[in-house]
Amino acid sequence: MRSSLLMDFGVRVREAREGRGWTQRDLGAAASLTQKQIFDIENGLRDVRLSTLVRVLDALELGASELVDDLRH
């Protein structure tokens, strides 16, 4: 079962990516991740490690608060 926390986080990643006009492949390339990893993150299928979070934030040029503030279980 997918966690609502992971699903909510994934929605935020998707919105930020789409706001830049990027595909999942574009974000994956910018963050040194695969398109499948981005798909899994955006769909709440992957628990994100801190190192992965930092790479996604850097690629999207966002601060952590922009993706994680107010997330709840």
Q: Fold for 4-62, please state it.
A: 434 Repressor (Amino-terminal Domain) (1.10.260)
**pLDDT-based confidence at residue 73 (cuts at 50, 70, 90):** low
The CA angle 46-35-19, to the nearest 5 degrees, is 90
Looking up tokens 């492949």, which residue turns up? 25
Given this model, what pLDDT does residue 16 score? Answer: 97
The phi, psi pair for 28, rounded to 5°, reads: -60, -45
Mean pLDDT of 30-55: 96
pTM confidence score? 0.90
Span 33-43, pLDDT tens digits: 999 999 999 99
